[in-house]
Structure 1
Amino acid sequence: MTGKRSPREVLAASRRKDSRDKRARVLAVVDQIAARGDAVTFAAVAKEAGVSNWLVYAEGVREHIEAARKKQAGQPRRETQSGLSSSAASLRTDLELSKQQVAALRGERDRLKAALQRQLGQQLDQVGSADLVARVEELTRQHEVLTAERDTLRREKAGLEERLAESEEDLAAARSSLRRMIRAENAGPSPA
């Protein structure tokens, strides 16, 4: 009684069968993930089932995933039950231990800093006062030499400035004399 089906009918039947197979695979994956105690998420189901994200949100599949998620939300996590995650009390204890360790490290840092300051102070104290007196005398001698050089240079400068002023006066006089001579020469011989 089955007549020959058209290619269109064959293709439609094939698509329906493929869709049923994928949906069945998604539902099986949801059950497997929940049985393992892993978190049931839309992305995890789509990835593990090898289907598109669109399919896990499709009607009939979405409801099954949401039901599994609600069921998991009401149960304690497998990680907590098997000791894989920390409880709040354990985290508080770790925090308190960390605070104590930080305080101990700060104390050690302060002790080392004080010891270093004492050591540097001792090194400065070990520099003998004789060395300091010798250095002060050396600096005093250098100061006297430099002061004498400065005074000599100031005197030389004053002498040079004086010679420059004299030279400028001589130059001005020579220019004035030259101008008179040029005027007299340009005026020609005077009538007698």
Structure 2
Amino acid sequence: MSGKRSPGDVARRRDSRDKRTRVLAVVQDLLARGKPVSFASVAKAAGVSNWLVYAEGVREHIEGARARQAAQPPQSGTGRPVGMASLRTDLEMARHEIASLRQERDTLKDLVRRNLGQQLDQVGTGELVARVNELTGQLNELKAEKDLWMREKNDLQEKLAEAVEDLAGARISLRQMVRAASTGSGTTL
């Protein structure tokens, strides 16, 4: 390869060096302000591509900054380290608040459940009463119809019994007439 560099190569190298310098400055700034260092936040703050922050020579600086942050104790809003007693107190307060919120949630769920039940009862009761009344009216109509049909059936049974008696009497008369005609003792019509 020749030792000559084109103006484009020089510009690209300068641009790359400037971007890397910006990335390292952003990492130092985030560390100084106590802000979390991540590859995405560094790339965004420096105005560079995600590829560059993972490139060799840059990645190591970001990983080192993340390791330093992980090793430091949590900081309070004043920039001083937070003590274990303070963390325990915060944890206990959070637990009490969570328990209180759970109880409130359960109370609200129960209240909503009862209100919905009452609404369903009110809507359902009116409709059920109307349906029961409708069915009762239909039942009364059917009973009246049944009674009418039973009377009609009884009338027809009585007429049938009379017709059967009349038929039996007619058969007896017819037999007598046939016997009389066959013996010759009967009169001619």
TM-score normalised to structure 1 length: 0.50
Q: Which runs of 5+ in 2 are unaligned?
A: 79-86, 156-189
Please point out which of 77, 88, 98 is paired with 1:82.
Answer: 77
Q: Say whether 1:142 aligns with 2:145.
A: yes
1:40 corresponds to: 37
The whole-number CA distance in structure 2 between the counterparts of 1:96 and 1:35 is 38
CA 1:19–1:106: 2 relative to 1, 3 Å: closer
Q: Say whether 1:63 aligns with 2:60.
A: yes
Q: Judge conservation of contact 1:25–1:49 (CA < 8 Å) in 2.
A: yes
Amino acid in the other structure paired with 1:28 = A
2:161 corresponds to: none
Q: Judge conservation of contact 1:43–1:53 (CA < 8 Å) in 2.
A: yes
1:22 corresponds to: 19
State the Cα deviation string for residues 136-166 of structure 1 (Å, max 9, x = none): 65542133235668999xxxxxxxxxxxxxx
Local SS of the residue matching 2:56: coil
State the Cα deviation string for residues 52-107 of structure 1 (Å, max 9, x = none): 222212222111111111111123455xx339xx9543442232112211332354
Q: RCO higher in 1 or 2 (8 Å CA, sep ≥ 6)?
A: 1
Q: Give the superposition deviation at 1:38.
A: 2.6
* Number of residue pairs aligned between Structure 1 and Structure 2: 135
CA 1:141–1:72: 2 relative to 1, 3 Å: same
RMSD in angstroms over aligned alpha carbons? 4.3
1:52 corresponds to: 49
1:99 corresponds to: 102
1:113-132 correspondence runs (5 A): 113=117
Q: Give the superposition deviation at 1:114.
A: 7.4
The whole-number CA distance in structure 2 between the counterparts of 1:98 and 1:61 is 46
Percent identity of equivalent pairs: 43
2:28 corresponds to: 31
2:160 corresponds to: none
Please point out which of 67, 72, 79 is paired with 2:69.
Answer: 72
TM-score normalised to structure 2 length: 0.51
CA 1:76–1:148: 2 relative to 1, 3 Å: farther
